[in-house]
Amino acid sequence: MTVELISVGTEILLGNIVNTNAAYLAEKCAWLGLSCYYQDVVGDNEERLYETIRTALSRADILLISGGLGPTQDDLTKEVAAKVMEKPLYLHEESKEAIRRFFDKRGMEITDNNWKQAMVPEGCIVLDNPNGTAPGVIMEKDGRHIVLMPGPPNEMIPMFETSVIPYLNRLQNGVIYSQTVKICGVGESKAESMVKDLIESQSNPTIATYAKTGEVHLRVTAKAEDEKAAKKLVKPVVKELKGRFGSSVYTTEDNVTLERSVVDLLRANHLTLVTAESCTGGMLAARLVNVAGVSDVFRAGYVTYSNKAKRRLLGIKKSSLAKHGAVSKEIAREMAKGAALISKADATVSVTGIAGPDGGTEEKPVGLVYIACNVCGKITVKEYHFSGNRAKIRENTVSAALVFLRECILQYYSEMTFGGKDK
């Protein structure tokens, strides 16, 4: 089945906000096995909205429309969509009650225009919105389906996951199930070449690769008559991928991020961590703190962007800085070592580099980064060359630091287990 995404909102047309809803829905549709050929953005204008919905209906089976369900006169997505589908609106008592409860709970006063949000098209399916006042709506006619969802992502996403995904699965005569194998430390083209034969030889399940900063996600998607059968199709392929990528696979779970897998690995080995950052300036610590409950392994972070801070906070010698320069293998090593000495943390990771736009030289160009990891006294340093602007270089550095720390921890325990060099 085909799907078309329509985002309604003048604020998108004015460039006031980035259309992240479309990216979210597009990814989920691919995951659900729905083909999407068009995405549209249109403002809160009756005529143009009508034409956009009509055109989309002529070329897609399902329209996912977000935005324009608010209480003001400007918000007219529901009214226009109902007009296209030739369905009159009526007052939906349960939605009215839900709106009343929403306001009461927050001690806010209801204004008259809020009741507009309780009006829904005849014969539609009404979707709960626990995070806002606009209910969602699904309309069906002549084998075509229109789904209306609120624009704010914190309302749209839970509604889509709770109510719309099961609906879309039911439409498809069968169930789509997919699992993602997330790998890190392997480049996109290398990863693709390692699964080329699988991608070419299989049709159900299919394998799709997604490149992320510092990681690659391999999504295995199967279609079957029920979830159990679909899972059975996915399982051997996931196993094959795990075999091919070995320890580069950091998770096969959707809700586990790279930073969470690193935090889990630290926790499993009873290791505490301290970070020491120069060019990333706190971004690495901030990314670790994305993980709720990180405090039992993440002890502290030092942001030592200036040389003075490197000396005072981490005990780096002035002579070392003069001899090697702040961006060097040696200083990265001393930062990791200094952080361990002052904090007594089991693991430390340090970052120093030239993020630009200034500060690069022939010998040490913009994008040169050193990352050092210390796991229980064993320090390893790695040199990186990143391209892009200041923000991109710093973002790449943070991902690389997480990948490298993970590798160093795994390496440390593998050497211990297999009797390799210890420390």
* Residues between 253 and 282 with contacts to its own copies, criterion CB under 8 A: 275, 277, 279-282
Among 135, 301, 338, 367, binds its own copies (CB under 8 A): 301
Place of tokens 């199930």: 177
Do 198 and 181 contact (CB within 8 A), yes or no?
Answer: no
Quick one: 53 or 119, whose CB is closer to its own copies?
Answer: 53
Site residues (CB under 8 A) for its own copies, limited to 366-395: 388-392, 394
Q: How far is the CB of 255 from its own copies (least distance, A)?
A: 12
Site residues (CB under 8 A) for its own copies, limited to 191-250: 208, 210-211
Among 102, 177, 298, 386, binds its own copies (CB under 8 A): 298
Q: How far is the CB of 107 from its own copies (least distance, A)?
A: 14
Do 347 and 376 contact (CB within 8 A), yes or no?
Answer: yes
Among 283, 332, 339, 349, binds its own copies (CB under 8 A): 283
Q: How far is the CB of 22 from its own copies (least distance, A)?
A: 7
Which residues, 6 or more positions from 356, have their beta carbon under 8 angstroms from its beta carbon?
A: 366, 367, 389, 390, 393
Among 8, 32, 33, 39, binds its own copies (CB under 8 A): 39
> Measured between alpha carbons, how far is 54 from 273 in angstroms, rounded to an integer?
56
Site residues (CB under 8 A) for its own copies, limited to 146-185: 154
Angle at 301 between CA 295 and CA 304, to 5 degrees: 175
Quick one: 41 or 233, whose CB is closer to its own copies?
Answer: 41
Question: Helices 258-268 and 390-417, interaxial angle, to 10°?
Answer: 30
> Measured between alpha carbons, how far is 253 from 180 in angstroms, rounded to an integer?
7
Task: Select the span of 26-34, 75-83, 171-179, 327-335 touching its own copies (CB under 8 A).
Answer: 26-34
DSSP-derived secondary structure for 210-272: EEETTEEEEEEEEEESSHHHHHHHHHHHHHHHHHHHGGGEEES-TT--HHHHHHHHHHHTT--
Q: How far is the CB of 210 from its own copies (least distance, A)?
A: 5
> Measured between alpha carbons, how far is 349 from 62 in angstroms, rounded to an integer?
49
- Is 306 among the residues that bind its own copies (CB under 8 A)? yes
Q: Give me the sign of the Cα torsion angle 103, 104, 107, 113.
A: positive
**Burial letters 72-104, b for 16+ CB under 10 A, else e:** eeebbbbbbbbbbbebebeebeebbebbeebee
Task: Select the span of 117-125, 143-151, 294-302, 399-407 touching its own copies (CB under 8 A).
Answer: 294-302
- Is 17 among the residues that bind its own copies (CB under 8 A)? yes
Q: How far is the CB of 93 from its own copies (least distance, A)?
A: 28
Site residues (CB under 8 A) for its own copies, limited to 313-352: 313, 343
Among 28, 92, 116, 145, binds its own copies (CB under 8 A): 28
Quick one: 36 or 258, whose CB is closer to its own copies?
Answer: 36
